[in-house]
Structure formats: C-alpha cells, structure tokens
Amino acid sequence: MPTRVAFPRLTAAMAALSCAVAVSVTTGGGGAVARSPVEDLVSERTVPGAAELSQDTHGAVRFTTAGVADVATGRRILPTDRFRAGSITKTFIATVVLQLAAEHRLDLDDPATAHLPAGAAAALRHSGRDRPVTVRQLLGHTSGLFSYTDDRAFFRRVFGAGFAAHRYERHTAGALLRTALAHPAYGPPGRLYRYSNTDYLLLGMVIRQVTGHSYAAEARRRVITPLRLTGTSFPGLRTTLPAPHGRAYSPSGPGRAGGLADVTDLNPSAAGAAGELVSTLPDLNRFFAALLGGALLPPAQLRAMRDTSASGGRYGLGLFPVRLPCHRTVWGHNGEINGSYVQSLATADGRRVVSYRVNSDARIPRTAEAKLLSTAFCPTDGTGPADRTGWTG
C-alpha cells in the first residue's frame, strides 16, 4: 500500500475451488521434503513465512507453505488464514467502477469531479490543474495526482519509525486527500503513468457518490457475496484480523523481538479504498479467475481493464501485466501493507491462477518471485508442469 509501484516488482467464469487441495509443506531448513520456490521467499531474519495457492487449467489446486505463521508458536500458515491484501483492494474497486460504467451510471471519460462529493470536487478543481482528471485516469494511474503515501511525514507515521505510536490512529478520506493536494502534481492529467494511492482514494468517493453506498458495501454486494468470498472483508476501522490468522511482521521499527516487530494490529483507515482489504489465498484465486474469465464484467469493460496503452504497457485499469520469459503474459495485481505482501496473477482467460504471500513487509528477492512464476506458468512442453529454469534475475 505504500507507493511501491506494482509492476516493476517483477518487470512487471468463477473458480469454484471445491476440489481436493494437495498440500505441500516445506521446512525451510535441512529437513526439506522437496525444494519449492516458496522456500526461497522465506528468510529467518526478515520473512518468517510464505505460502502459495495455485490452480491449473483442470481445476486442480495445490497449496504450498514454508516457514511459520507465528514465530512465537511455530504454527504454519493455513490456506484459510486471513491477511491484509494491500493494493489488491484496487482491483476490487476498479471492478465496481467498471460495472457502474457498464450500467451507464458513469462514463470512464467523465471528469472525476462530476462524480465526487462537493468538498472533494471543489478541492480538486482548486488544486491548480489546467485540465480535469477523468475517471479513466484515476483507474489507470495517469491522473498525475500526488500519492498521499509519498508525503514524508505521513509515511514516517504510518509505515516508518512512527508506526508504533500511530498504528491505531483514524484517518479520514478527506484528510488523506488534503495531504495529497498539499503537494504539486506529478504532471498534467494523462501525460504520464505514476502509481498513486490518491487515485483510488478518490474512486472510493466516486462509488459512494454514484451509488449512495460505501465502496465496501458495493464491493460486498457486487463481488464478495456473489463469489462467496467468505474470507474477504473491508475492515473499516477494525484493528484486528478475523480468525483464523497468523501474525504480520516488519523487520524495521521499534518494538522488535528477535529482529522482527509484530505489526498485525493496526487501523487500516490509512489505506482505505487504496488498500484496506483483508482476504485469503483461495478467495483471491477465485476472484481473479472469475474476473479474467468474464464472470464480473462485460467484454468491453474487461478489454478496457486490460488496455495498457496509456501507461506504455505497464498498467491497465486496476490490473497489470507480467510478461514471462516463456512469452506468456499473465494478469493481476499485488498488495503491500504493514507486515504483508501478496501477489495474484492469472492467465488472460482466468483458467490458471496463482496467489502467493509472505507475512512480512520486507523486500523479497525478485529472483525468488520470478522462479515461482516460471514454475507456475511456463511449461516445458506446452502441456506438462513447468520446470524452474529460464529466469536470469
């Protein structure tokens, strides 16, 4: 959720998930049963645990875990564990906005101010911009608006050294917008791609203004309930995770025990529509399979979601492409927030999908992520399981 641009991390119908799940557990140490790419995500000093859930084109599901969910108890990560999904929230928000466009309740090329509450619209109009920002530009991070998480004081309080003292503070969308608009824009609307959490903060306001309901209520009604995403929620001001869950860790900041700070509990209002979602790996797989399989959006809106022309191929509308060395392109999003990093990616038809996560906000090696995705998506003969070669870093 801090403004760590999504795509460069790597170069950047509904899935029932009701079949039997094959579980692979690796120890991360000398007693490893079989080396898995998930093991390479774990580091004793910075990343206690990792997990991956993959579903192939035949619906077979495999869950793999390494390390621990809780350093105090040694409990392993469970498939149903809830965790903070950070900026994967954006794909849910984008889906709702594109559904509204399909219903002709807004147009993607409308000025965003036409669908914002009066106060936010006035603030945006008076921010010294020559041209209006459109809904499409908010969805695709080409608005040029400064990301409120790039404000140094805000970042220190929420994600940096001040986290322990400020972790339970409440943040309103209006205050976050004022933080953003206190800074010059990155550039004119439509001129360049620059990932900004302010864009999705505003889209949350757009959803409320258009529907009369919060973005959380609309996402529940339109996405979470129809897909039966029973482990997915928008916590609002709730500071704890729903059960079952492990712990979330950060290798930096005060209050560290054994080199790691427990950052599980926090007020997610600092993330809001840009990153407050709580979910599970099975729910994320089901969501991305349904989305890319056409179960949530009409064809025109799904094409718009995958249109990366405005960003030079880097980002669509709430989705980004990852181009693999086997000449395949997969689609999805990642998410990062205190103590959690997750990425979900799927083939363009949604038939093969992989979600993986770690219980830390430490940087994990790009080569480890790359190997995991090569294993998941790059078959050696076009039909069989992938090998683990073909990545050079």
CATH of the domain at 142: 3.40.710.10
For the entire predicted model, the pTM comes to 0.90
Top mean pLDDT of 32-41, 123-132, 238-247, 371-380 is at: 238-247
> For residue 304, is pLDDT > 60?
yes
Least confident stretch, 105-119, 237-251, 362-376: 362-376
Residue 250 a catalytic site member: no
Q: Token pair of 97, please?
A: 């906005």
pLDDT average, residue stretch 61-68? 96
Per-residue pLDDT, 44:
83
336 contacts 330 by C-beta, under 8 angstroms: no
- The domain tally of the chain equals 1
Mean pLDDT across 49-54: 98
Which one has a higher pLDDT value, 140 or 388?
Answer: 140
Q: At 220, is the pLDDT very low, low, confident or very high (cuts 50, 70, 90)?
A: very high
Q: Which of 390, 328, 361, 325 is nearest to 83 (CA)?
A: 361
Q: Helices (DSSP H) in 78-172: which residue ranges?
A: 89-102, 118-125, 135-139, 152-158, 163-166
> Domain for residue 322, yes or no?
yes
Residue 57 lies in domain: 7-377
In a domain, 248, yes or no: yes
The predicted-structure confidence for 102-157, as pLDDT tens digits, reads as follows 999 999 999 999 999 999 999 999 886 768 999 999 999 999 999 999 999 999 99
Residue 382 in this model has a pLDDT that exceeds 50: no
* C-alpha closest to that of 19 among 267, 289, 202: 289
Count of alpha carbons within 13 angstroms of residue 91, beta-carbon side: 30
What is the model's pLDDT at position 21? 41
Average pLDDT rounded to a whole number, residues 207-225: 98
What would the mean pLDDT of 189-214 be, rounded to a whole number? Answer: 97
Q: pLDDT over 90 for what percent of the chain?
A: 80
The reported pLDDT for the residue numbered 131 is: 84
- Residue 391 included in any domain: no
In a domain, 162, yes or no: yes
Q: Which residues pair with 344 in a beta bridge?
A: 333, 355
Q: What is the pLDDT of residue 259?
A: 82
- Residue 166 is which amino acid? H
For the ranges 5-14, 56-65, 253-262, 322-331, the lowest mean pLDDT is seen at 5-14
User: With 60 as the cut, is the pLDDT of residue 79 above it?
Assistant: yes
321-349: per-residue pLDDT in tens? 999 989 999 999 999 999 999 999 999 99
Percent pLDDT > 70 in the chain is 86
- Which residues neighbour 71 within 8 Å (Cβ) at sequence distance 6 or greater? 48, 247, 249, 258, 260
Residue 393 lies in a domain: no
pLDDT of residue 154: 97
Interhelix angle 118-125/197-211, nearest 10 degrees: 140
Predicted confidence (pLDDT) at residue 17 exceeds the cutoff of 80: no
pLDDT recorded at residue 35: 77
Residue 388 lies in a domain: no
> Is residue 390 a part of any domain in this protein?
no
Q: Is residue 383 part of a domain?
A: no
Choosing from 36, 54, 87, 233, which is the catalytic residue?
87
